[in-house]
Every structure is written in structure tokens, then in C-alpha cells.
């Protein structure tokens, strides 16, 4: 009894990697290995990178809005119409200015998510789950090991980014103390470049930590979806017993058998037909065969296919309703003609050989 319990325990222990079917099922539920840190870090990194390339255009756009506001818009007569026009114009100028940043952020978010999980769309996560508002479960989540790990990760991120920002500011402390001696344009340019540099280094450090977090999330996900040996056996039994899977397998086997049979039709000596409902392909080699052999047969559309291939390869078709029905019912593909049908098939082959000018011997 103890040995049986031990075996049952080890059978239920989740030590095996998830099967492809289990991975598909979990993916359908929206459960994938994904780190939110990757999206945030990559978005920050690409955004600050954009400011290095297009920062000058962005500043010029801001200055143009500033100039128009104080040199042109202030001279307008105040009215409802002019106020509405002013609002629309400022809204349009701001949208044009912010649109490239919005596109960059959108592309960065899409790329980061696609790189982690590929294309995935499901409504499972949108369904209402009352268990999520359960206070007991919420308390368990707050004081769980995962929450502690997330807290430590956040503290570590704050510490690393603070150190990176502090070091950059410390290295530029000399110029910061001399800002009072510079004109407003140079001071603004220096502050802007320093902010972008800090943003790049901070986002780069966040991205490195995000990669490490993704690896951790992937490890946790693989651990979560592990299966026991019994789970794998149960899944295998379920898939084997699934009528849909069985139907697909049988359909594929029938298709493969059909393709093999159709490929044999060009080797036939004659096609005996019903003429429309049945077609039986007969092959006979006097040197290697003791009796003619059925190499292909079919009914309705398969019969039409056999006759089409016979026509393409110039194989003679002979109409003989009783013989076609008898051969179709009594002889399977690959079997030789039974003794009671020797004479009828021999007459057909003799006729074909005579018409084609061939002589392969006489059949009893």
C-alpha cells in the first residue's frame, strides 16, 4: 500500500515539460511568458532615442507655437469665433508636434509585445472574473512570494536608476554650476541634452533589467505549466479518443491512400467501367504475374478521376457494366482477379491487346 502511494505521488508530481497541446491551450487563455518591464523600458529607450534624432525639430515646433501665440494670436480681436479658431489652431499645431512621439511609442509597444509573445488576440482576459475581487484571495496575493519578489525588483530598479542619474549629474556638476554665466539658449540646450542623456542611460539600464525579468518570467511560466506523467497520459488518451482528431486522421489516411492509388493508374493496361458509376484499373504482366491485378478502383467522382488519368496516358477504357460491378465488389486494390472472373477479364485484355497490336499471351 505504501509503495502504491509513493508511486502515485511521483506520478502526480509535475516534473515534465508542457506538451505542445498544453501550450496551445494556455495561450488560448492568454497565459504566456511576458514581462511588462520590457515594454516600458523599450518604449522609454526608443522615445529618448527619437529625441536625439528629432529633438531639434521638436524644440523648433514648440518655439513656433510660442512665437505665433505672442506675435500673432495676441493681436486678434477677442470673440467667440476667434477663440474657437485659436483653440483649433493650437490643437492642430500640438497634434502635429506630438504625433511623431505618439507613433514612436505605439511602434515600440507593438514591437516589444510581438517580440515576446508574437501575434495574439483573445477575449479570455476580458471576461468578468469575480474571484479577482475576493478580499481573501487579494490578501493572499499581497503577502505572496511573488509580491515580495516584485517589491524587491522595484526597489532594485529605483536604486539602479537613481545611481545612474546621480553619476551623470555628478559628472556634469561643473557645467551645472556655471549655468548662471550662460545665456538662456545655451543653458536650455545643456539642460535638454543632459535630460536626454540621463533618459537614455536610465532606459538602457531598465532595458537590461527588463531582459533579465523576461528570463525570470519565462522560467516561472515554464514551471507553472509543467505537467505530471499522469497528465501527459491523460492528454494522450483524450486526444486519441477525440472524434474530431480521429476524423482528421482517418481523412488524411484516406487522402494518402487515394493519392497512392491514383499514382498507380498510369501503369494499368485497361480501365473497365460501368460506364459512369464504377471504374476498375487492371494491370497484367505475363512475365511476373500469375493473374491480372486490380491496381485502382473508384466510384462516382473517383471513377471520373481514374478515367481522366487514363485518357491523359492513352490507356484504353472498356465499358462492361456487370464485370465492372463484380470487380468493384469482389476485388480489393492490390489483389489478383478471382478464378471465376478470369475468362471475362481475359476477354477484355485480349481485345485491348488486339486493338493496340500487343501480344502478351493468352489467358484461360
Nearest in space to 265 (alpha carbons), one of 184, 199, 333 = 333
Q: Point out the domain boundary residue: 179, 207, 236.
A: 236
Nearest in space to 38 (alpha carbons), one of 179, 193, 217 = 217
CATH number of the domain that residue 297 is part of: 3.40.1690.10
pLDDT digits (tens, 9 = 90+) for 176-232: 888 778 787 778 778 888 888 888 899 889 889 888 888 888 888 888 888 888 777
290: in domain: yes
pLDDT digits (tens, 9 = 90+) for 258-299: 888 888 888 888 888 887 788 888 888 877 888 888 888 888
Task: Show Cβ contacts of residue 211 under 8 Å, excluding neighbours closer than 6 positions.
Answer: 38
- Measured in whole angstroms, the distance separating CA 136 from the mean position of its chain's CA atoms is 37
d(Cα 140, Cα 320) in Å, to the nearest integer? 81
d(Cα 151, Cα 156) in Å, to the nearest integer? 9
Q: How many domains does the chain have?
A: 2
Q: What is the largest CA-CA distance in the chain?
A: 120
DSSP class per residue in 156-213:
HHHHHHHHHHHHHHHHTHHHHHTGGGS-HHHHHHHHHHHHHHHHHHHHHHHHHHHHHH
Same structural domain, 187 and 97 = yes
As a whole number, mean pLDDT of residues 136-141 equals 61
172: in domain: yes
128: in domain: no
Model's pTM, two decimal places? 0.51
Measured between alpha carbons, how far is residue 4 from residues 8, 11, 15 in Å?
6, 10, 19
Same structural domain, 161 and 255 = no
Q: According to the model, what pLDDT value does residue 137 have?
A: 59
Do the beta carbons of residue 117 and residue 32 sit within 8 Å?
A: yes
Q: According to the model, what pLDDT value does residue 126 have?
A: 57
270-273 and 278-283 strand pairing: antiparallel
- Domain containing residue 94: 15-121+134-236
Q: Point out the domain boundary residue: 236, 262, 282.
A: 236
Amino acid at each position: 500500500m505504501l509503495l502504491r502511494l509513493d508511486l502515485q505521488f511521483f506520478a502526480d508530481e509535475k516534473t515534465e515539460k508542457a506538451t505542445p497541446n498544453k501550450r496551445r491551450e494556455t495561450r488560448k487563455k492568454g497565459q504566456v511568458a511576458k514581462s511588462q518591464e520590457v515594454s516600458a523600458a523599450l518604449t522609454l529607450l526608443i522615445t529618448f532615442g527619437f529625441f536625439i534624432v528629432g529633438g531639434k525639430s521638436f524644440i523648433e515646433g514648440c518655439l513656433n507655437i510660442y512665437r505665433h501665440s505672442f506675435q500673432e494670436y495676441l493681436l486678434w480681436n477677442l470673440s467667440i469665433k476667434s477663440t474657437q479658431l485659436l483653440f483649433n489652431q493650437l490643437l492642430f499645431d500640438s497634434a502635429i508636434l506630438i504625433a511623431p512621439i505618439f507613433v514612436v511609442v505605439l511602434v515600440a509597444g507593438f514591437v516589444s509585445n510581438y517580440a515576446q509573445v508574437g501575434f495574439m488576440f483573445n477575449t479570455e482576459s476580458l471576461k468578468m472574473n469575480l474571484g479577482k475581487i475576493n478580499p481573501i484571495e487579494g490578501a493572499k496575493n499581497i503577502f505572496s512570494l511573488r509580491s515580495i519578489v516584485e517589491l524587491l525588483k522595484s526597489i532594485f530598479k529605483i536604486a539602479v536608476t537613481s545611481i545612474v542619474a546621480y553619476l551623470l549629474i555628478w559628472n556634469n556638476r561643473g557645467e551645472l554650476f556655471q549655468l548662471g554665466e550662460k545665456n538662456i539658449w545655451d543653458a536650455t540646450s545643456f539642460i535638454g541634452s543632459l535630460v536626454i542623456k540621463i533618459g537614455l542611460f536610465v532606459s538602457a539600464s531598465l532595458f537590461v533589467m527588463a531582459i533579465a525579468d523576461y528570463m525570470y518570467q519565462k522560467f516561472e511560466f515554464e514551471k507553472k505549466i509543467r505537467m505530471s506523467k499522469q497528465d501527459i497520459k491523460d492528454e494522450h488518451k483524450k486526444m486519441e479518443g477525440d472524434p474530431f482528431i480521429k476524423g482528421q486522421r482517418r481523412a488524411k489516411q484516406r487522402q494518402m491512400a487515394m493519392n497512392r492509388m491514383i499514382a498507380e493508374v498510369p501503369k494499368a493496361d485497361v480501365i473497365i467501367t460501368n460506364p459512369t458509376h464504377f471504374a476498375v484499373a487492371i494491370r497484367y504482366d505475363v512475365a511476373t504475374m500469375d493473374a491480372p491485378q486490380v491496381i485502382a478502383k473508384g466510384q462516382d467522382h473517383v471513377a471520373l478521376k481514374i478515367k481522366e488519368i487514363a485518357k491523359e496516358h492513352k490507356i484504353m477504357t472498356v465499358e462492361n457494366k456487370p464485370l465492372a460491378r463484380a470487380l468493384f465488389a469482389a476485388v480489393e486494390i492490390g489483389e489478383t482477379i478471382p478464378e471465376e472472373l478470369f475468362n471475362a477479364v481475359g476477354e477484355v485484355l485480349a481485345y485491348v491487346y488486339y486493338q493496340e497490336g500487343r501480344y502478351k499471351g493468352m489467358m484461360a
